[in-house]
């Protein structure tokens, strides 16, 4: 799902304007919209950069532009602008929010005992990292 024209009209002015080399040499710049669509595909799917579909520019180009824009704070400005736009339209309701936090239970030291009174193995607690109830609750919020 790529950006629609209305979405692009909001985001385009927030992207930095490219600078040309003084000597006029170099490759032509790849279209910012195509790059942003590729970046959004990666962020949406969580796939590695090298798995980017061929309908987007080269993954190296997308990754380089992504790094450039992150360094310049472009995505923070885009997010602020989009939140402001949604809020002005009356579509932002912050009365109920959820923040997902993931954590791993710390290991007990060697020689400790679990709830059943059994000794832990010297290399770790022997307990599962996630309880099933936490996993189920996370799945409910992710849906």
Query: Block means of pLDDT (10 residues each) for the chain, length 143 residues?
Result: 90 90 85 95 93 95 95 92 83 70 61 60 49 44 43
Interior angle at CA 103, CA 101 and CA 108, nearest 5: 160
Does pTM surpass 0.75?
no
**Per-residue pLDDT, 115:** 63
**Per-residue pLDDT, 110:** 53
Query: Which contacts qualify for 126-134: CB closer than 8 Å, 24 or more apart?
Result: 129/104, 129/105
Q: Where are the chain's structural domains?
A: 5-88, 98-143
Partners of residue 119 on adjacent β-strands:
113
Q: Where are the alpha helices (DSSP H) in the chain?
A: 5-11, 32-45, 59-72, 74-88, 132-142
**Per-residue pLDDT, 88:** 84
**Per-residue pLDDT, 119:** 62
């Amino acid at each position: 799902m790529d950006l629609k024209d209305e979405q692009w009209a909001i985001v385009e002015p927030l992207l930095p304007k490219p600078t040309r080399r003084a000597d006029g040499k170099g490759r032509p710049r790849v279209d910012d919209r195509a790059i942003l669509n590729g970046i959004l595909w990666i962020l949406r799917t969580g796939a590695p950069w090298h798995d980017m579909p061929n309908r987007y520019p080269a993954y190296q180009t997308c990754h380089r532009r992504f790094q450039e824009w992150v360094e310049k704070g472009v995505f923070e400005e885009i997010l602020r602008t989009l939140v402001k736009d949604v809020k002005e339209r009356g579509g932002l309701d912050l009365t109920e929010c959820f923040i997902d936090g993931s954590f791993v239970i710390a290991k007990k030291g060697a020689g400790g005992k679990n709830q059943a009174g059994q000794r832990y193995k010297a290399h770790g607690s022997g307990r599962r990292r996630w309880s099933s109830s936490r996993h189920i609750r996370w799945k409910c919020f992710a849906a």
